[in-house]
Amino acid sequence: MSVTNSKPEHVAAAFADAWNRHDMDEFASLFASDANFVNVVGVWWKNRSEIEAAHRAAHDTMFRDSRLEGDVSSVVELAQGLASIHYSWTLTGASAPDGTPIGIRKGILLLIVQEGRSGWRIKVAQNTDIVPAIIAPAA
């Protein structure tokens, strides 16, 4: 799925599509060359090459049979050609490093996307697992 000439929120759909096809070339193409990505356990990748290598390794193992589904929960224009996207996701079919199925995971992915000559690309990504039974106190 190409994100050229699309709306910012189409990047989230392209992210899930590439994930579900386990197409890490397409996945990596969604990111700017100098993108940053912090995953759900706090690992911080600081460019497209690192993001691609890490996801390729994970999709060869623990995410090999995974499926990512979700919805765009919000899109906020931060400036002309710059937007934030919150994508609420559910992941199924993933396994632990030892191959044990890990069940259903839910989370929220924050993408900061920037429009350029080749369309919208992810500049910053921050992924968060929603941990059941860990609830912040009411405001």
Q: Does some domain include residue 119?
A: yes
SS3 category, 5: coil
Closest CA to 92 of 133, 128, 63: 63
pLDDT given at position 5: 44
H/E element holding 103?
none
**pTM of the predicted structure, to 2 decimals:** 0.91
- Tell me, yes or no, whether 2 lies in a domain: no
d(CA 120, CA 2): 10
Q: What is the CATH number of the domain that holds 27?
A: 3.10.450.50
Q: What is the mean pLDDT of residues 32-39?
A: 98
Query: In which domain, by residue range, is 113 found?
Result: 10-129
- Measure the CA–CA gap between 68 and 2, rounded to whole angstroms: 18
Give residue 3's pLDDT.
52
**What's residue 131's pLDDT?**
87
Domain count, the chain: 1
Tell me the average pLDDT across 56-67. 97
